[in-house]
Amino acid sequence: MSASPEQELALQACRGLAAYGLGPAIGGHVSIRVPGKEQYWTNKLNKTFEEMQLEDIVLLDFEGNAVDPDVVVSPGIGFHHGIYKLRPDVNAIVHTHGYWVTAQSAFGREPRMLHNMSTYFHNRTAIAPDDEIDAIAPAMKDDDIAIIIPWHGAITMGKSIGDAAALHVTFDYCCRLDVELAGAKDVPTMPEDHAVAVQKLLGKAAYLDLTWDLIVRKGERCYDGEVVVPAPVT
């Protein structure tokens, strides 16, 4: 049986995120909604993003049950179908325990406005006490694109896997800025009016599409035929 487009896209996302260093350990997951069905594709639990192959991208229903009953997925997968039920505008979700997003989660707040790209997440980031949908639902606004789970990691959401993945690597970058500058004195944050203006400007740009193209290219370059070897961090 040939792979579905969503299955192939999920694999591209896993490998691209791995190239950014966001997939070295067990536990992260991406998902893509199946159009017109209460199903989504996601990755198995037993491999890292760096190791993922097409057969490791599996189909689940909106109760979290795998079509193949022998498949083992993360016990924390429930927020994926929970969000899909609540947010028909969301068609893809990325969750990682990347170093910088996890460090940011220890602060229990969205990253400060220290860069233009940080404005993507300004007032669009929920803080949920854990990864259960019962905790996420009351914390999440209708236009939120990111969720921080304190002392855990982060979630990004988009109308496509390209948006969700591009937002995730951007979020990781913004979190790195915040964490590395946390101890610095007299670091000014972007004024509110400027942040709002930049956020509107980014909404008109093709940044997320171009970033997704870059994620795919990096994933292809870093894949050696067996695993993804993450690109050096600069």
Counting the structural domains of the chain, the total is 1
Q: Is residue 228 part of a domain?
A: no
pLDDT score for 23: 87
pTM of the full structure: 0.96
Q: Is residue 213 part of a domain?
A: yes
Q: Is residue 233 part of a domain?
A: no
Please give the average pLDDT of every successive group of 10 residues along the chain, which has 234 residues: 90 98 93 97 95 96 89 91 98 97 96 96 97 97 98 98 98 97 92 96 94 98 97 77
Q: Is residue 112 part of a domain?
A: yes
Q: Is residue 40 part of a domain?
A: yes
pLDDT score for 1: 61
User: Domain range for residue 98?
Assistant: 5-222
Label each residue of the chain as H, E or C: CCCCHHHHHHHHHHHHHHHCCCCCCCCCEEEEECCCCCEEEEECCCCCHHHCCHHHEEEEECCCCECCCCCCCCCCCHHHHHHHHHCCCCCEEEEECCHHHHHHHCCCCCCCCCCHHHHHHCCCEEECCCCCHHHHHHHCCCCCCEEEECCCEEEEEECCHHHHHHHHHHHHHHHHHHHHCCCCCCCCCCCHHHHHHHHHHHHHCCHHHHHHHHHHHHHHHHECCCCECCCCCC
Q: Is residue 232 part of a domain?
A: no
The CATH number of residue 84's host domain is 3.40.225.10
pLDDT score for 234: 65
